[in-house]
Amino acid sequence: MMLRLPDPKNARRWCAEQRAAGRTIGFVPTMGALHPGHMELLRRARAENDVSCVSIFVNPLQFNDPKDLASYPRDSEKDARMLEEAGCDMIFTGTLEQFFPEVESLEQIVKRHPGPGAEGVEGAARPGHFAGVATICERLFKVVGPTRAYFGEKDFQQTLVIKDLTRALGYPEIVVCPTVREPSGLAWSSRNYLLSEADRVQAACLSRGLFAARATWRTGERDPARLRKVLLQELQVEGVEPEYAEVRDPEAWRPDPPNGPMTRAQALVAARVGRVRLIDTLRLDTND
Ligand code: PAF
């Protein structure tokens, strides 16, 4: 039986009990509207730990656009069913008031500085977004304590921000799992539930662009501007306007390319398809 805890205080107690009994916890933080990418995170969390838990909380602090928050897909009963069938041990949720009991009004919540990983790309496109992610993740990590937490590579820059955060907190251990894609190549995201059939066909150009850039990298191309152009060509074919497209060194994480030829490269893209904003990413110099 999966335990459903609507109050983070009780979830904290459950996690403390698990640790006291010597059990490791695999934690998957989510905003619900679960999809195969989330289920893969849970599969890994279960395989690598004694017990698993998933948080479901649509965090208002990380939405820079109120319309985006209002239209974010939500289906908590379906989510709970999927998690129970997949063998999750505990799910928890909460309200902003429960996650931040020390403030009298929500305007008083002090957002965390998200660290250098938040600079540029998605951080520049969505001001305040990563501060909101870091702020809630700190609270979620306080609920689960020192454990392993599982994140998808699709939100690559988020994983940089989370790693900055866990370096500061000293826990948990972060496990980044490969992006799960639909058969068309489209990366799974909760936002895919908002796409029409026609949007879905168009949206596949994002991953086509990324894989074209990887194929070009493999021919020996190391110029980020030319790799970016290859990516963008696939979007142009579908008439999809990019919000950004960048090729960066994933470890140095600086906008300017290194002095010598690139040895590591992460391509990142964001675009609106229909009414839906999508992001995707691919490491060019590995098969991951
Ligand atoms: O990736 C997400 O779903 C969210 O950004 C997270 C990590 C659950 C924080 O709200």
Q: Domain containing 257 — which CATH number?
A: 3.30.1300.10
Any idea what the CATH number is for the domain that residue 128 is in? 3.40.50.620
Mean pLDDT of the chain: 97
Q: Could you say which of 132, 151, 177 is where a domain stops?
A: 177
CA 93 – CA 70 distance, rounded (Å): 18
Q: What is the pLDDT of residue 259?
A: 85
DSSP state at residue 57: -
Angle made by CA atoms 161, 72, 86, in degrees to the nearest 5: 75
Q: Cα of 90 to ligand 1 centre, how many Å?
A: 18
Is 32 near ligand 1, meaning CB less than 6 Å away? no
Q: What is the pLDDT of residue 122?
A: 98
> pTM for this one?
0.97
Does residue 147 sit in the same domain as residue 214? no
Q: Could you say which of 177, 198, 223 is where a domain stops?
A: 177
pLDDT tier for residue 92 given thresholds of 50, 70 and 90 = very high
Q: Which of 30, 68, 150 to mutate for ligand 1's pocket (most ligand atoms within 8 Å of CB)?
A: 30
Does residue 143 sit in the same domain as residue 261? no
Whether the predicted pLDDT of 76 surpasses 90 = yes
Dihedral, CA atoms, 138, 144, 148, 151, nearest 10 degrees?
A: -50
The better pLDDT of the pair 105, 131 is held by 131
CA nearest ligand 1 atom 3, residue: 30
Which residue range forms the structural domain that includes residue 86? Answer: 3-177
Q: Has residue 165 been placed in a domain?
A: yes
Is 56 near ligand 1, meaning CB less than 6 Å away? no
Based on its alpha-carbon atoms, the radius of gyration of the chain, rounded to whole angstroms, reads 19
